[in-house]
Amino acid sequence: MTGKVVVITGASEGIGEALAKVVGAQGNTVVLAARREKLLRQVAEEIGGKTLAVETDVTRRADVEHLRDAALQAFGQVDVWVNNAGQGITKPVLELTEEELDEVMRVNLKSALYGMQTIVPHFMLRGSGHVINISSVLSRVPFVAPRAAYSASKAALNILTANLRMDLAAHPDIHVSLVLPGIVRTKFFEHAIGGTPNWHQVAGAVGSQSAEEVAEVIADVIDNPRAEVYTNPASADVVRRYHEDVAGFEANLRKRG
């Protein structure tokens, strides 16, 4: 992959930052988006080359549209749009407030919807493009019950992604991919509403990865578009076993928890 214009939300740290550095090192133009402009500019300086930092609150449609317009004004096109921004929350289902659920849905689901609705018309005009939505293995298996709202938002993202792909069936050069990381060693846990749950049962089942390892998988998806990929191959087997025997799998999880 080289010479593409890649927009990445949530690019100030974690997976987004790591991905920006990987695709930048490959000779691509990188547009970084997040709310923390100072951190974005630091990442852009580290990457060098053709980069653009755009302060963006992805929960505001106007900000997302501004991000697209800034990228087009600077570089004339967008080839890849990565909806990566996300927010964790640690609250059991029965303790969730409406405000907490709304906030997680705004950050994890609606922001991706804004991204898709904002950039796909550009892709349709060009006749090509690639949307990549970053989900989570927690959208498929309830490893960490207190992550219920986060998992629900990502499960909703999964089906929105699949249906967008169906909607674009008549446009074979516009790709829509879903990427599902497992446990990733970043500061994401520190930023979660309600703190960090016990995630060791997840790591024990599928292991953990660095942000750089996940970024390499996403970069490969850019090079070789496919509908869906787990960044850790072990996750796919765990998800398959879960759906083969939901009750039995959950019973084992409770024993280990």
As annotated, the active-site residues are 150
Beta carbons of 70 and 7 less than 8 angstroms apart = no
Residues written for the chain: 257
The DSSP result for 109-172, as a single string, is IIHHHHHHHHHHHHHHHHT-EEEEEE--GGGTS-SSGGGHHHHHHHHHHHHHHHHHHHHTTT-T
Q: How far apart are CA 141 and CA 136, in angstroms?
A: 9
> CA–CA separation, 215 vs 159, rounded Å?
23
CA distance 100 to 147: 12
Q: How far, in Å, CA of 139 to CA of 180, rounded?
A: 8
CA angle, 214 as apex, 149 and 21 as ends, to 5°? 115
- CA-based max dimension of the chain: 55
